[in-house]
A and B are shown apart, each in its own frame.
Chain A
């Protein structure tokens, strides 16, 4: 979705934005896989596998996806704080 008209932004800012988009892309892919993938589209196949009393697909839909969501945001916070330091700090 990013457009090419970056003439008046500094190379730093555009590198920051690219790194940001890359991480958002990775994290949203995982977001999609655990919820829509494991919890909905492939739930029947995963239900063949059992984890204690849980069928795995059912577990992803009602427990697992939520745990992963929390971890995804935690990773994003950490990554972005790093990027802010790298790019924001040098501009000062």
Chain B
């Protein structure tokens, strides 16, 4: 069977499973819709959290990024896993003990203020929207490359599926679907990695394989070989980065803290029965995430080695077939600057921007002609980073069903994250905005209707952005992490660990943190992108890492202001004490139906 038939088959089967689960687990109360009636076992919750967290970016994008960045790519690996340590030790158990539905709930109650709730609410909705748009785009790419469907229809199909199980099933439906999606995506990620590890190093475990020796070249370690190949072509050694240390430090910190402050991750810890289960879920979640995150750097090394061995200094006419199929998909571009028919690959961009083709016109060697302005460097090749995971099985000439499996896995990753985010958006609107702010007397049934309608509206908006993506998706994602790091994280931490922290301190801290971080990012990414180089940065910290400074500012300001203003009222102090106390037997199943 060919790749396309396999893909239709695997995607069809997995979609049927997701829909079946949604019907079986549909929600009937707001408690079930928002937090699955707090009845999710820790193991299942851990798997669902892992699927929720690992988006199209983790599945498709991350290994590709690391493949091109080498050691510098470590920021994503440490940042997106280390955040779970903070989450498990500093946030999850306490928020679960607090026992309401959402982060704005906690912020509003702890800081006895509607303003604080509203600020938190706006942040939660903004962060979730930036994410969900990226997911829909991922769905579109997979559909158009592997199923020969137009990106528009790909996004529409994805929207319909997410709509069906998120709107019908709420958190309960989403959680059990995500368990299935985790299994699909982890299988799809590791199987090709194992195959390729065996081929390159003879070791079936990719995590060990990429530190092993190359098959057929006894005594040469794979990483040494890759360092050598990279340096020959003028790149930095793969295992040594080029970014300044302070920037690596700050980006890693911002990603870690941002992870711990993301609303769609935090909300998962409300769905378990008791506090101890929240801790265990965090453990399972990180374990399941670690399986993918320790495989990804191995995949990155394999892909980079294969690329550097098979492409540079080859004649275009003899280049492997995958190069041409991705070129026709518009994600690889080759410009024969010196007219020798040979692909030169070196440091620096081959031409400005993403490839823009001259329609279907082809050049002397059969390559698609480009209209981009060539750069001064010798490099002639553009490779889109997002294709490395999808192309890897083809590059390694694995069987067709493996290629199809990767496509199904990419869809699972994108859909599971999109569904989780849509839930945060609908909860924020129906519960925090409509009920708590405008219509406190609304019945449970009405609130559920509001939640379903806002999920529906959110799906359509996200789909629109998926079809017409803004050019700056990556920049906007950096924005989301920076915001979460400089706003939510300090406010929640201080709310739990300091009894003296008051409304005035928390709100000013949050506002200053966000304003500082947002203006730095907007200045360098949107107003003056040409100034976005090391020399102009504050202390040499890039916009991706600036959330760290925003967070420190937030802490300092919050402490200073709260020291000079009135202490919080007694009932808030009592509430904090209660959050910190061990849970007693019997108090574990208060499902709040308020």
Contacts and interface: CB of A to CB of B under 8 A. Distances in A.
Given A69-B85, A92-B585, A58 B239 contact: yes
A91 to B, nearest CB: 6
B85 A41 contact: no
Contacts of B584: 88, 91-92
A40 B577 CA distance: 37
Interface of A: 1-3, 5, 8-9, 13, 16-17, 20, 24, 27-28, 31, 35-36, 39-41, 43, 47, 51-55, 58-59, 61-63, 65-67, 69-70, 72-74, 76-77, 80-81, 83-84, 87-89, 91-92
27 contacts: A1-B498, A2-B497, A9-B577, A9-B581, A13-B581, A16-B582, A27-B85, A28-B85, A35-B78, A36-B253, A40-B74, A43-B71, A53-B211, A58-B71, A61-B71, A63-B294, A65-B77, A65-B82, A66-B77, A69-B82, A69-B286, A70-B287, A73-B88, A73-B286, A77-B283, A91-B582, A92-B584
A39 B89 CA distance: 21
Given A53-B222, A70-B286, A92-B585, A13 B88 contact: no
Contacts of B276: 77, 80-81, 84
A31 B85 contact: yes
Contact of B577 (A13, A55, A62, A74): A13
Contacts of A41: 245, 249
A36 B78 CA distance: 9
Interface of B is mostly: helix
B282 interface: yes
A1 B131 CA distance: 33
Interface in B66-115: 66, 71, 73-74, 77-78, 81-82, 84-85, 88-90, 93
Nearest to B586: A92
B82 A62 contact: no
B384 to A, nearest CB: 23
Contacts of A27: 85, 89
Given A5-B499, A77-B283, A63 B82 contact: no
B585 A88 contact: yes
A86 to B, nearest CB: 8
Contacts of B282: 73, 77
A77 to B, nearest CB: 5
Interface string B257-275: 0000000000000000001
Contacts of A47: 239-240
Interface string B563-574: 000000000011
B297 A62 contact: yes
A46 to B, nearest CB: 11
Given A3-B500, A39-B78, A74 B283 contact: yes
B337 to A, nearest CB: 34
Contacts of B85: 27-28, 31, 69, 72-73
Contacts of B221: 52-53
Interface in B303-345: none
A61 B89 contact: no
B223 A28 contact: no
> Which are the 4 A-B pairs with shortest beta-carbon distances?
A53-B221, A88-B582, A61-B74, A53-B211
Contact of A1 (B66, B212, B497): B497
B583 interface: yes
Contacts of B439: none
Contacts of A1: 497-498
Contacts of A59: 211
Contacts of B581: 9, 13, 16-17
Given A40-B252, A52-B221, A53-B213, A70 B245 contact: no
Contact of A88 (B239, B287, B497, B583): B583
Nearest to A54: B211
A28 B493 CA distance: 14
A63 B207 contact: yes
Given A53-B212, A53-B221, A8 B279 contact: no
Nearest to A3: B499
Given A39-B78, A52-B211, A69-B84, 12 more contacts: A40-B248, A52-B221, A55-B239, A58-B240, A61-B77, A62-B71, A63-B207, A65-B77, A65-B78, A67-B290, A72-B85, A92-B584
B88 A76 contact: yes
A29 B499 CA distance: 23
B394 interface: no
Contacts of B583: 84, 88
Contacts of A3: 498-500
Nearest to B583: A88
Contacts of B256: 35
Nearest to B208: A52
Contacts of B240: 47, 58
A7 B573 CA distance: 11
Interface in B492-506: 497-500
Nearest to B251: A40
A27 B90 CA distance: 11
Contacts of A63: 207, 294, 297
Contacts of A70: 283, 286-287, 290
Of listed B222, B253, B276, residue having the most chain A CB within 10 A: B276
Interface in B171-226: 207, 210-213, 221-224
Contacts of A28: 85, 89
A3 B495 CA distance: 12
B231 to A, nearest CB: 15
B77 A62 contact: yes
B129 interface: no
A91 B78 CA distance: 40
A17 B580 contact: yes
B211 A36 contact: no
Contacts of A66: 77-78, 81, 290, 293-294
A62 B279 contact: no
